[in-house]
Amino acid sequence: MSNQKDEKYFQNISHRERAIFEGAITMGAMFHQFVGTPVNKKSVKSLERAIKDAMELQPCIDKVEVKIDLEMISDFQSEYEYVSLTGEMLDVTVVSSYHDRKVISRMHYVEELQYPLMYVKKVF
């Protein structure tokens, strides 16, 4: 749950909308903060953990799961023994909640769209 002092700024939206908003803000922050980060096979687990830990600090976020595609890192690794993280390498699930509403948002590469898509997977 968020700080009670900010409630007046969100009076125009429902608890459902607030839970969706918080998940979406977290997903966008994650993408724009971490894409471009140098990564290799040795650093994958620590980067996954850093993303998870940082994003779980956001308001109304209950849980974050991060998986980075090791195969893509191996395929793209350069002579410098690292690559820059891309959206295509990420599979992220964010669980956000506000009062009585919970939302699962996800971002992963969708081959059919050739795009790392962020979307609301479930609202309850």
Q: What is the mean pLDDT of residues 41-53?
A: 97
Mean pLDDT of 1-23: 87
Q: Which residues contact residue 38 at a Cβ distance below 8 angstroms, ignoring those fewer than 6 apart?
A: 82, 83, 84, 85
Check whether 8 has a pLDDT greater than 80: yes
Q: How far apart are CA 35 and CA 90, in angstroms?
A: 9
Neighbours of 12 (CB within 10 A): 6
pLDDT at position 5 is 80
Does the pLDDT at position 2 exceed 70?
no
Q: Give this prediction's pTM.
A: 0.92
Binning pLDDT at 50, 70 and 90, where does residue 3 land? low
Six-digit token string for 29 = 């922050």
The end-to-end CA distance of the chain, in Å, is 15
Residue 112 belongs to domain spanning: 4-123
* pLDDT score of 60: 96
Q: What is the arithmetic mean of pLDDT over 63-83?
A: 88
The count of domains in the chain is: 1
76-91 residue pLDDT tens: 767 788 999 999 999 9
Token pair for 14? 């429902």
Residue 111 sits in a domain whose CATH number is 3.30.1300.20
